[in-house]
Amino acid sequence: MTSSTFKPESLRNYAIITAAYWGFTITDGALRMLVLLHFHVLGYTPFEIAMLFLFYEVFGVVTNLFGGWIGSQVGIRQTLYGGIALQIFALGMLSFLNPDWVVPVQVGYVMVAQAFSGIAKDLTKMSSKSAIRLVVPKEAASRLFKWVAVLTGSKNALKGVGFFVGAALLEWVGFRSALLIQAAVLVVILLSGALLPAEMGKIGKKVPFRQLFSKSREINVLSAARFFLFGSRDVWFVVALPVFLYEVLGWTFMQVGTYMAVWVIGYGMVQFLAPQLLRKDSSGKVVPRAKTILFWTSILTAIPALIALVLMSGVRGDIAVTGGLIVFGVVFAFNSAVHSYLVLAYTEDKDVSLNVGFYYMANSGGRLLGTITSGLFYQWFGLVGCLWVSSLFVLAAALITTQLSDPKTSSAVGV
């Protein structure tokens, strides 16, 4: 399949959706860093901070479950820009937060605002990922892998930029002004929705609600593995790591935000480059198989445990964490890139938004588990305890992955 077989209109639509997703992603990363650092300074414990993100993750699970079904009925344009509108509302809502309110009221208010942000994030993610399958058929397996890697890698790199933006805005203009600036940027992005066809991604027929849970074995297995994979990252990265850097190592907001941003940007770049870095088959193409994801997940299992052992041996925290993060990020990026390809390779055109939504429901479930346990285990056992739990989660993902079969369109390729 050559590039000439792509319709210019399809490429234009994909470019518009991707640009909107990029803009949203920066604000999503910035908002997470804003909330985390702002409330830590106010004296909230790591577990209380994790609770601020509880509804963000819970409603992400719900949104992915129903969002794919909704997208198949109303179209991708409506779900994508509906998500952006909800993010604008969430940012505006948070800007009215009053620090004089009693703590339980503040927590509840932020949790509700974060619920809207969680819905927004997963509506935009589901819409953008589904759009790839509407432009590139799964028969063009190598090209599909490359396009998935481009979107996923660039998204994560820009989320890292968002971490930096959030920390910088918090330090330069304060919490409320930072929120309003982001909302204004999203209003501009929202206006671009008029350029997309209203029917994009709409399948034109009623889908029985029970079909939300009627998935192929491969989608179910991959989703279960995704649940533990992303739980393994967030259990030490989301709350524990930034609090460790600020509280134990004594770093400033800008140092924490920049450090987290650089890691996520590097992680996104590795995802972006995954199709070029993985070994090619005899035809010169990279088409991941089931054993590809098993290989990378198995390697990842040992890395959090090794970081924990290094910290326990007395090595300086900044050195141990930085070295471990680099290795963890590279291996995790390969895992994520291949995962994102496989869910589309296992999916038929008519089921794309339904399967992508279900799959990212598992992703959100893993993030929810990781977020809660990150705050809880850090409070109980510190960063080392979070790392041991991370290793157990990856081991669970690896064992589940052994049950995967190869996508029907794949040709042989090494790891």
Query: 31-45, 241-255, 318-332 — which one is most confidently predicted on average?
Result: 318-332
Cβ pair 141, 248 in contact under 8 A: no
* Angle at which helices 352-401 and 217-237 cross, to 10°: 70
Distance between CA atoms of residues 323 and 327, nearest Å: 7
* pLDDT at residue 308 is higher than 90: yes
Q: Place 259 in a pLDDT band, splitting at 50, 70 and 90.
A: confident
pTM as predicted: 0.72
* pLDDT at residue 30 is higher than 60: yes
What is the pLDDT averaged over residues 398-411?
Answer: 78
Give the type of residue at 231.
Answer: G
Distance between CA atoms of residues 16 and 220, nearest Å: 31
pLDDT of residue 86: 95
pLDDT of residue 49: 81
Which of helix, strand or coil describes residue 175? helix
What is the pLDDT averaged over residues 328-356?
Answer: 79
Report how far apart, in Å, the C-alpha atoms of 219 and of each of 212, 223, 326, 333, 355 are.
12, 6, 30, 20, 7
* pLDDT at residue 329 is higher than 60: yes
Contacts of 342 (CB under 8 A, 6+ apart): 218, 222, 288, 290, 293, 404, 407
Cβ pair 178, 30 in contact under 8 A: yes
Share of the chain above pLDDT 70, in %: 81
In angstroms, how far is the first alpha carbon of the chain from the final one? 24
- Average pLDDT of the chain is 81
Distance between CA atoms of residues 370 and 387, nearest Å: 11
Share of the chain above pLDDT 90, in %: 23
What is the pLDDT averaged over residues 8-12?
Answer: 68
- Lowest average pLDDT, out of 35-44, 263-272, 344-353, goes to 344-353
Which of helix, strand or coil describes residue 282? coil
Distance between CA atoms of residues 125 and 158, nearest Å: 14
Distance between CA atoms of residues 327 and 334, nearest Å: 11
Token code pair at residue 334: 């390969």
pLDDT of residue 415: 41
- Lowest average pLDDT, out of 56-70, 73-87, 140-154, goes to 140-154
What is the pLDDT averaged over residues 217-239?
Answer: 88
pLDDT of residue 410: 45
Contacts of 330 (CB under 8 A, 6+ apart): 267, 270
* pLDDT at residue 265 is higher than 60: yes
Q: Place 351 in a pLDDT band, splitting at 50, 70 and 90.
A: low
HSE toward the beta carbon, residue 200, CA cutoff 13 A:
28
Of 160, 366, 403, 151, the residue nearest 266 (C-alpha)? 160
